[in-house]
Structure 1
Amino acid sequence: MKFVSIFKGEKNIEQALKESELKFKSLTEATSSYIFICSESKILYANPAAEKFIGYSLNELKEMNVADLIHPDFRHYFFECTLIENEAVLSPEVYEIKVLTKSGEEKWISATATAIQIDSEYVILITAFDITSRKAAEEKLIESEEKYRNLVNLLPDGIFIFDSENCLYVNEAGLKMLGANNSDDIIGKKYIDLVHPDYHSLFKNIIEYSIENIMVPSPLSEIKIICSDGTFMDAEIRCVSFMYNGKSAILSIFRDITIRKNAIETEKLLKQALEHDKLITEFFSNMSHELRTPINVVISALQMCELMYKNGTIFDDIERLKKYYNIMKQNCYRLIKLTNNIIDITKIESGYVKLNLKNYNIVELIEDITISVSDYIENKGINLIFDTDIEEKIVACDGDKIERIMLNLLANAVKFTDIGGTITVKVEDRKDNVLISVEDTGIGISEEKQKIIFERFVQADMSLSRPSEGSGIGLSIVKSLVELHGGRIYLKSKIGIGSKFTFEIPCITLPEKDTILKVNKYSPNNKVERINIEFSDIYS
């Protein structure tokens, strides 16, 4: 590259400058900008501000080569910018370079090189100003940004930056969380696509909160994010709005809480296992009591009969003999009930229990079952009331299973209701469902026990000194039988006031031939033994 020869001689240039000095001297000396006039590689003029900045006098500068003032890293670039045949000189642009002062200090300048004509010849007019402080600040900012970038990449939490829709930045931890190979897989992706559909609404609310509350961190929330392989990860998230590259953006911090969630779940399962073990332990303790008590009673009654036989009085006191007979019979029923319950709960859990559905007038069915135990209950000094808001409601159900449900609920009501109390059986029509309730004025059940009363092995009173007997699996069987009908059972109770067990079953019917509904009748015949078995653990 060669500089264009500007003047025929240096003296001609100097003469021309002297002639035009009056025109621009006041301007150049008054301005704080640094002004240089160069010809080829020589400096012809520098204003006072330029002399002060660079540290050389004008006379010293005239003896120097332009390249002596330019930092070696920028000399090639400078000479390209100041070639007259370069269009940039004819249409000047700002460029930034480093220069060397007389003291050897490196300084930054922002300069513009323009070709001007003096006495029909061209020279290069350079106008510059000091940007050293700005460049130092920029370098510190870049250094600071680099430090923060490194810090962000070292953080174990996923850092994401979003605009109103898309992801603009993700750190290394964020890539690792999502299982992405590089940032290109995530940047540009819609932020909503990173979140499990169940949490779209929550995440949008978090983003909206951050936009509306500038520089205020959002409340800590838990969501599920979608990893690159399609799996889901539990994450804790917090967002805050801030300026990113001159525009408003959302900084989101994601923390993997999978281990914590798993630990909580493991702790929960462990707690459940311990509670289950405790229930089983209590059940076997209770079961041993339930088995031992009737066996001991039977043995005691047999021993008394044996004693009467040995004494020769066995036929002399028939009433006493009948008493021992009834005691043995009741406790045998009790053992049968216990055995049946254990077998039934096992069958239910194994899926072997099936419903034998038939069309019944459910109102009549419940009333007949209630009437079948009315004498027994009233003999206990307890009032029994049957109430209904309909006379007929045809429902497909298993009559034997409904009987089992009702006898269990009635037996429980009798157990915990004192003499003079009341048991109310009620049937209510709910169009698509029918509600059957058994309510008593007994001792009631605590709120704590109400939550688990339908679980296996649970009794309202698990102490061995409780006032009534039972294995603690009857209500579990009742719940299962109700659910087999597609229904549900629930309890309302208050200590000292009483309890109300309500179960509801759907009102479906079985079509018979010729669309005529066959309504089955509940027969109490041969039901006496079932009643005796179900009420066998109630003692006068």
Structure 2
Amino acid sequence: MFNIFDQLNDQLLITDQVAKVQICNAQKSIVHQHSSEKLKRYQALEQELQTFLNIATDVHAILNEHLEIISCNNGFQDILGWEESEVLKKNYVEFIDYPDAVQIITAINECKASGQVATNIAKCKCKDGKYKWIEWRGKYIANKKIHLLTGRDITLQKEREEERLAKREAEELEMLKDEFLINMSHELKTPLNVIYMTLQLESEEIKSALEKNGQEIELNILKRHDKIIQRNVYRLLRLIRNLTEIAKLESDEYRLNFINCDIVSIVRQISLAVADHMQSTKVKITFDTDIQELITACDPSAIEQIMLNLLSNTIKYRKDESKVRVSLTVKDNKVRVTVKDNGIGIPKTELEYIFKRFAKIDTSLNRKCEGSGTGLTVSKYLVELHEGSIWAKSQLNKGSSFIFEIPIVQISDEKDIYYGSTSQQIEEKCNIEFSDIYDI
């Protein structure tokens, strides 16, 4: 009897163990099936995402924290020509043209710090040596320490934009040329007409005196006529000089004569000479500097011409009572000269064009002066030949500031120092430069 029960018990134990194994296997099968389905769904989603990225973007890549490419799509090859083996483990910035690379690094760092999506446009290097414009979008994934990047090829849009810009600039230049030629015609005809008319007056007065049995001609009348003729001859000389200088500067034929000069003395001399020249007007010119002497290599004639051009431009566009302050300072091993006035100012829309060829601010018929608009262009060329820079700041009805700076350098084997032109030479230059201002 007990043997029967023992056998039954053993059978139940075996059955129970088999059932447990079957249940366990069933559970494993369910888990495996669930994991397999989950993996398939994940792989499907990953494939869908990859397909979406390939459709939505031209290039995409994953970078590590050192900006090395650890994964990329075929866009690098299709768009830029680089094969995957040539891209992987390379620094992403190596494929960006300078200086866009600097902007890209800044954008990536900002993206990493803020956690926001960053957008930037960069000129990217192709394998064939050409460049393409790519609009990049990136985001830093902090928990994985990776950068996700997508890029869109906008080369065609950029080229069309540049073509439109070039066309617009060409049209603007053509318009400026037309205005310039009209202005040149006026600039040439006006002094020539004045000279011709003055000579006719002199001829009539001489003829009248002869008809009156040798009556003497008043000397003051002849002097006044001579002064008018001289001023208009100066105007023509100034116009021809500026046009000739621009032609030489643009053809790279212009050469500066660098010598060691006391630039403080040169700027002071020109400023004070112009102040004396303008004594008959309400223009007050002052010169200010904390530096008594500063020796630097420059072309003194060019510096004098720059100063005369800036002061002439300032005086032309003055108010009835104008104050002009010339200051000289030194900063970062550069000498800076500022010509500041309280004149009529320059509109913001025209401020960026004033140093360009043919540009002119006031083309109205009631302006207080004539001028071809070439003086500031010449000044810009001369400053840049000194490896310097020139710019302007202005507010309407409050005044303008024209600033230029050049590096301080010296010719080591040059012992002589130039301190400036003679007063007679400067006066002659002032006569020419200010010949187109009516009321001096």
The change in CA–CA distance for 1:139 and 1:380 in structure 2 (over 3 A counts) is closer
Partner of 1:494: 395
Partner of 1:205: 109
Contact 1:363 1:392 in 2 (8 A): yes
Q: Which deviates the most, 356-365 or 282-291? A: 356-365
RMSD: 4.0
Q: Which deviates the most, 397-406 or 147-156? A: 147-156
Structure 1 regions of 5+ residues with no counterpart? 1-16, 35-93, 95-108, 112-127
Q: Does 1:409 align with 2:310?
A: yes
Contact 1:369 1:524 in 2 (8 A): no
The letter of the residue matching 1:533 is I
Contact 2:108 2:138 in 1 (8 A): no
Greater share of strand residues, 1 or 2? 1
Q: CA deviation at 1:174?
A: 4.3
Q: Does 1:368 align with 2:272?
A: no
Which of 436, 452, 457 matches 2:358? 457
Q: Normalising by structure 1, report the TM-score.
A: 0.65
Q: Does 1:378 align with 2:279?
A: yes
Q: Does 1:177 align with 2:79?
A: yes
CA distance in 1, matches of 2:82, 2:187: 62
Which of 79, 89, 94 matches 1:189? 89
Partner of 2:117: 218
Contact 2:271 2:287 in 1 (8 A): yes
Partner of 1:261: 158
Q: CA deviation at 1:228?
A: 4.4
Which of 127, 133, 140 matches 1:234? 133
The letter of the residue matching 1:532 is N
CA distance in 2, matches of 1:445, 1:248: 52
CA distance in 1, matches of 2:334, 2:147: 52
CA distance in 1, matches of 2:52, 2:108: 28
Partner of 2:195: 298
Partner of 1:285: 182
Which of 238, 248, 254 matches 1:353? 254
1:148-167 Cα shifts (integer Å, max 9, x gaps): 55555555522334566665
CA distance in 2, matches of 1:28, 1:272: 89
Contact 1:206 1:218 in 2 (8 A): no
Which of 325, 338, 356 matches 2:226? 325
Question: 3-state DSSP class of the match of 1:407?
Answer: helix
Q: CA deviation at 1:482?
A: 2.7
Give 1:269-280 correspondences, 5 Å limit.
Answer: 269-280=166-177
CA distance in 1, matches of 2:75, 2:321: 72
CA distance in 2, matches of 1:132, 1:499: 80
Partner of 1:47: none
Q: Does 1:24 align with 2:19?
A: no
Partner of 1:5: none
Contact 1:490 1:503 in 2 (8 A): yes
Q: How many residues align?
A: 424
CA distance in 2, matches of 1:403, 1:364: 11
The letter of the residue matching 1:176 is D
Give 1:380-529 correspondences, 5 Å limit.
Answer: 380-418=281-319, 420-428=321-329, 432-511=333-412, 516-520=415-419, 522-529=421-428
Contact 2:111 2:118 in 1 (8 A): no
Partner of 2:3: none
Partner of 1:539: 438
Asked which structure has the greater CA Rg, the reply is 1
Contact 2:357 2:374 in 1 (8 A): yes
CA distance in 1, matches of 2:41, 2:287: 89
Q: CA deviation at 1:449?
A: 3.0
CA distance in 2, matches of 1:317, 1:357: 50
The change in CA–CA distance for 1:418 and 1:206 in structure 2 (over 3 A counts) is closer
Q: CA deviation at 1:374?
A: 4.2
Structure 2 regions of 5+ residues with no counterpart? 1-6
Q: CA deviation at 1:218?
A: 1.9
Q: Does 1:530 align with 2:429?
A: yes
CA distance in 1, matches of 2:55, 2:49: 10
- Alignment identity in percent? 31
CA distance in 2, matches of 1:385, 1:252: 58
1:103-122 Cα shifts (integer Å, max 9, x gaps): xxxxxx999xxxxxxxxxxx
CA distance in 2, matches of 1:170, 1:454: 47
Question: 3-state DSSP class of the match of 2:229?
Answer: helix
1:157-205 Cα shifts (integer Å, max 9, x gaps): 2233456666554334343124245x5555x535636643536634643
